[in-house]
């Protein structure tokens, strides 16, 4: 960033509103992980079933993200980026308000599914919009800023959950989303999208994506680059109290604090990876470095002996920093494809990778039964990291790529 003009562009209304949207998205997405135990206990779930029911509800929420990723991604290319930003936040805000009124696990599951569908649209649409309105030299900074601000939603979720009943925490999240709708009124649509809309270019056609091997290979690669990220978030952090007990830690670990510290680490990592990619002019090299960091920090988390709760939270921070290529991974997806498929890819990629929590959790459940939690987790991080490196090798380097192009049949 070399001028006052660049700084003004970087902190423009669309970028800040996209960042705030992701902030509310993360608040609502992570709130379940934070209030899992008190909310399920309040619904009458026995203590020995809290882990199992928590896994079930997490899988239901992630199923919603998978389906929502497709719906909002296609809509973003067909109707525009802003329609997704408005529609998705309205859906998950109302669903999260409803979460505060549930009285059974079945109701809880239904509303977590609906919330998941709504939450699926926020990040992809925001990253797509920011990528298209900022000049190439600022794109990496912009997406890193969106992710860094957004990830602190986990911090707010933890403080709210500590200060209020779990039901009120859901109502606050829903209310924040509805307030954000007002701020969105001032945001303009992407000029690049409006141009192809006027030209009547075919948009949001999945057949263009899956019917062409070159595009399909890159699409699959974009998804699996992030596989280790959601093993860390969906398993190691979500079930951190259970991991701490297995490690023999005598103190009590609070899931909300574990989520908060891991997301602070993730925000710092995202800022670091985004700025580093701008400095060395490469997305792929930085992602490869952070995959290596992920393996290292997971090994520290699983095997480095500690004796205090504070040290455990330091481990959570390190885990978050290690997976701090989240924003870069989503940016790579947005930059791979033309304007007529960009929203479809940028929205489905993060949600498909979130959805991999389902098979990853099932794999971990199996390995946990065969070799215990610690060794089972080690095997899973090795498998997911190998998949991520292979996936990285099939996508293009997109640091300096101009985005004003379309995918032709």
The pLDDT value recorded for residue 2 is 58
Q: How far apart are CA 149 and CA 170, in angstroms?
A: 20
Q: What's the distance, CA 91 to chain centroid?
A: 18
Q: How far apart are CA 100 and CA 96, in angstroms?
A: 7
The pLDDT value recorded for residue 333 is 87
Contact 204, 73 (CB under 8 A): yes
Residue whose entry in the numeric block shows the structure tokens 């990253």 = 127
The pLDDT value recorded for residue 292 is 97
User: Residue-wise pLDDT tens for the chain (409 aa)?
Assistant: 557 887 888 888 888 888 888 898 889 888 888 888 899 999 999 988 888 888 889 889 888 988 998 898 888 888 877 788 788 888 999 999 999 999 999 999 999 999 999 988 888 888 888 888 888 888 888 888 888 898 888 889 989 998 999 999 999 999 998 988 887 776 777 777 777 777 777 777 778 888 889 889 999 999 999 999 989 988 899 889 889 999 988 888 888 899 889 999 999 999 999 999 989 999 999 999 999 999 999 999 999 988 899 999 999 999 999 999 988 988 898 889 888 888 888 888 888 887 787 888 889 989 999 999 999 999 999 999 999 999 999 999 988 888 888 877 6
209: which 2 tokens?
A: 């994506």
The pLDDT value recorded for residue 94 is 94
- E-assigned strand segments in 305-345: none
Q: How far apart are CA 136 and CA 327, in angstroms?
A: 16
The pLDDT value recorded for residue 376 is 95
Select 4-392's CATH number: 3.40.30.10, 1.10.3720.10, 3.40.50.300, 1.20.1250.20: 1.20.1250.20
User: Residue 127: helix, strand or coil by DSSP?
Assistant: helix
The model's pTM is: 0.84
The pLDDT value recorded for residue 325 is 94
Burial call 199-225: b when 16+ CB within 10 Å, e when fewer: eeebbbbeebbeeeeebeebbbbbbbb
């Amino acid at each position: 960033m070399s001028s006052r003009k660049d700084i003004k562009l970087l902190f423009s209304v669309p970028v800040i509103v996209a960042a705030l949207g992701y902030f509310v998205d993360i608040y609502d997405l992570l709130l379940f992980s934070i209030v899992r135990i008190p909310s399920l206990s309040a619904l009458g779930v026995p203590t020995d079933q809290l882990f199992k029911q928590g896994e079930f509800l997490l899988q239901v929420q992630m199923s919603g993200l998978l389906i929502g990723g497709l719906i909002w991604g296609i809509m973003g290319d067909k109707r525009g980026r802003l329609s997704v930003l408005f529609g998705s936040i309205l859906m998950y805000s109302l669903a999260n308000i409803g979460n505060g009124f549930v009285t059974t696990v079945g109701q809880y599951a239904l509303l977590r599914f609906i919330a998941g569908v709504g939450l699926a649209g926020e990040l992809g649409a925001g990253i797509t919009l920011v990528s298209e309105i900022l000049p190439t030299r600022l794109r990496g900074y912009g997406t890193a800023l969106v992710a860094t601000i957004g990830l602190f939603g986990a911090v707010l979720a933890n403080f709210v959950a500590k200060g209020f009943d779990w039901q009120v925490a859901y109502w606050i999240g829903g209310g924040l989303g509805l307030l954000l709708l007002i701020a969105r009124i001032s945001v303009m649509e992407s000029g690049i999208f409006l141009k192809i809309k006027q030209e009547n270019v075919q948009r949001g056609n999945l057949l263009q994506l899956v019917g062409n091997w070159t595009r399909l290979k890159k699409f699959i690669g974009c998804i699996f680059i992030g596989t280790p990220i959601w093993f860390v978030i969906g398993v190691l952090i979500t079930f951190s109290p259970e991991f701490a007990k297995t490690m023999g830690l005598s103190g009590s670990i609070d899931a909300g604090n574990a989520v908060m510290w891991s997301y602070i680490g993730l925000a710092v990592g995202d800022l670091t990876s985004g700025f580093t990619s701008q400095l060395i002019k490469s997305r792929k090299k930085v992602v490869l470095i952070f995959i290596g960091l992920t393996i290292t920090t997971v090994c520290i988390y699983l095997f480095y002996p500690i004796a205090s709760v504070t040290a455990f939270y330091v481990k959570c921070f390190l885990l978050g920093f290690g997976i701090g290529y989240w924003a870069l991974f989503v940016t790579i997806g947005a930059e791979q494809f033309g304007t007529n498929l960009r929203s479809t890819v940028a929205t489905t990629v993060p949600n498909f990778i979130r959805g991999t929590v389902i098979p990853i959790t099932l794999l971990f459940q199996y390995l946990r039964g065969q070799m215990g939690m610690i060794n089972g987790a080690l095997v899973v991080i090795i498998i997911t990291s190998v998949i991520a490196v292979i996936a990285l090798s099939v996508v293009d380097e997109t640091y300096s790529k101009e985005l004003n192009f379309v995918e032709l049949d």
